Amino acid sequence: MLALRVVFVTVASVAPAIAAAQTAPATATDTVAVSIDVSKPGAKIDRNIFGQFAEHLGTGIYEGVWVGPDSPIPNTRGIRNDVVAALKAIKVPNVRWPGGCFADEYHWRKGIGKSRPATLNPNWGGVIEPNTFGTHEFMDFVDQIGSEAYLSVNIGSGTPQEAAEWLEYLTTDQPTALAKERAANGHSAPYKIPYLGLGNESWDCGGNMTAEYYTRQMTIYSRFVRNFNPAQRDTGKMLRIAVGPGGGESRWTDWTETVMKAWQGHQWSWDMEGLSLHNYTVIKWPPAYASVGFGEKEYAEILQKTLEMDGLIAKHSAIMDKYDPQKKIALVVDEWGAWYAKLPGSPEGFLAQQNSQRDAVLAALNLHIFARHADRVRMANIAQMINVLQAMILTNKEKMVLTPTYHVFKMYVPFQDATFVPVTFDAGTYTQGAITLPRVDAIAAKDAAGKVWMAVTNVDPNRPATITASVAGLTPRSAAGQTLTAPRVDSVNTFEAPTTVAPKLIAPRVQGGTVTLTVEPRSVTVISVQP
């Protein structure tokens, strides 16, 4: 994978760049030559790395998605129309549901049929869970936004039988009692469930299990939780995702070793197709960094932290390679994103935070990391979709606002299922206090129609950069693109000012086989290049 990430930062180039960062006026630009090589295609950037995560947590589901059919907020069968339209536009490939920690306390039968008992949500504020948004409502939501379902089954406090019956209820077309019950509840055709999580964080909120105990449980669930309507778009199989590590220390590498070793020696009667990795960008625990009103120091600290994702993936991929050199098992980063202090005044346990231009840059950097590891990382789910942690969308009653992170996901749609192509460039450096980061980051890909796409992140919050891009083996004739920047690193969109951070069209200059564009400070830019 490193071979694909050829980012030259030579000693000779770093030293002048550091000096420049300390002395240059805010308007100074430096030129970064990027060369794209379409003759050496890499792995497919699976659309699933743009997946979302929607847990029963705070106002992520209730209010964010579900307002009920009688709500004055425009909705279709209880699901808000504004949110559906916004999510359709970013082509969400899959939605992970119902948790998170919630999944290991969720009992699906309480969320079907006419009579739905009120239960509690002890993980997240101890609030009432009305169960009005259950299996059918989730599948309707996924259908309305044109996405696919990634269900997490309850291993922590459920049973293999409960999970097996859920999948039979959802997927069989035989006239079983469960299929008849599904039909009586309004859906006679079997649903498609392409992705199945076998528990969540079983080393913590999912049951405090050891790796050995989890692996034993997981193999039982893998055996009995059958999908009768296998449905993954490309393979026709269900992708079963085992709980994986939550960090890089030996505790976590041991976990990956244990699960992968079990898989290597597995018998025909059980299998898995994915291993999960959870990694939040959080500096202190409990999270203390503010999501609003921060300065350049916190901007640099958070971005430095988020770049640890690369090493973490490399570390666990190396272990997976030992047991699975053919890379049959996907590494699924199904919880990632920034986790900040809760917004003042917001309820405990709701994980409400704002979303700034810093988060846009953070999202782009992580998407680049996933793309560079596309041969192993074939799915990822940002936490979380609406109103929780690093959200795409914030809502307040009838109001809705799109976050800077949403705009990044929209700008990156062309990378879904495109083929990774290598880029070389001198990243330069951005220095803030004791922190030095690569100043510029870039990835490129070729889509099915042959169009070449490049995404560039200018991490430096003070200096623009001039990018000169050449594509080996291709003479560019035209280029077009969009850029997302903001007046400040902590600029946010609010209900009152929803477009402070919004993408702008740009027209790169094409001359003599080179595409030239200026990327503004603290920006994310995506361009297409046409021969």
Residue 100 contacts ligand AHR per CB under 6 A = yes
Could you say which of 201, 273, 298, 520 is catalytic? 201
Residue 55 contacts ligand AHR per CB under 6 A = yes
- State the angle between helix axes of 250-264 and 308-323 in degrees (0 to 180), rounded to the nearest 10: 30
Q: CB of 236: closest distance to ligand AHR in angstroms?
A: 29
Q: CB of 270: closest distance to ligand AHR in angstroms?
A: 24
SS3 166: helix
Out of 201, 273, 310, 460, point to the residue binding ligand AHR (CB under 6 A). 201
Residue 335 contacts ligand AHR per CB under 6 A = yes
Q: What are phi and psi of 270, to 5 degrees?
A: -145, 160
Q: How far apart are CA 246 and CA 201, in angstroms?
A: 8
201 is catalytic: yes
> Of 97-105, 166-174, 188-196, 424-432, which segment contacts ligand AHR by CB under 6 A?
97-105
For the chain, counts of helices (H) and of strands (E): 11, 28
Q: Which residue is nearest to ligand AHR (CB)?
A: 100
Q: CB of 100: closest distance to ligand AHR in angstroms?
A: 3
Out of 45, 101, 151, 303, point to the residue binding ligand AHR (CB under 6 A). 101
Could you say which of 137, 273, 335, 520 is catalytic? 335
If the CB atoms of residues 200 and 523 are measured against ligand AHR, the closer one turns out to be 200
Cβ contacts of 396 within 8 Å, gap of 6 or more: 495
Q: CB of 517: closest distance to ligand AHR in angstroms?
A: 36
Query: How far does CA 149 lie from the centroid of its chain?
Result: 15
Cβ contacts of 367 within 8 Å, gap of 6 or more: 49, 50, 408, 412, 415, 443, 455
Element (H, E) at 173: none
If the CB atoms of residues 59 and 200 are measured against ligand AHR, the closer one turns out to be 200
Enter the tokens of residue 258: 């244990």
Enter the tokens of residue 433: 């206090």
Q: How far apart are CA 478 and CA 182, in angstroms?
A: 53
Torsion of CA 388, 391, 393, 399, to 10 degrees: 30
Q: How far apart are CA 124 and CA 133, in angstroms?
A: 16
Out of 58, 93, 99, 194, point to the residue binding ligand AHR (CB under 6 A). 99
Amino acid, single-letter form, for residue 234: D
Residue 200 contacts ligand AHR per CB under 6 A = yes
Q: CB of 53: closest distance to ligand AHR in angstroms?
A: 7
Out of 36, 178, 383, 515, point to the residue binding ligand AHR (CB under 6 A). 383
335 is catalytic: yes
**Residue with structure tokens 């206090």?**
433
Q: CB of 352: closest distance to ligand AHR in angstroms?
A: 12
If the CB atoms of residues 201 and 273 are measured against ligand AHR, the closer one turns out to be 201
Interface positions with ligand AHR (CB under 6 A)? 55, 99-101, 200-201, 335, 383-384, 389
Active site residues: 201, 335
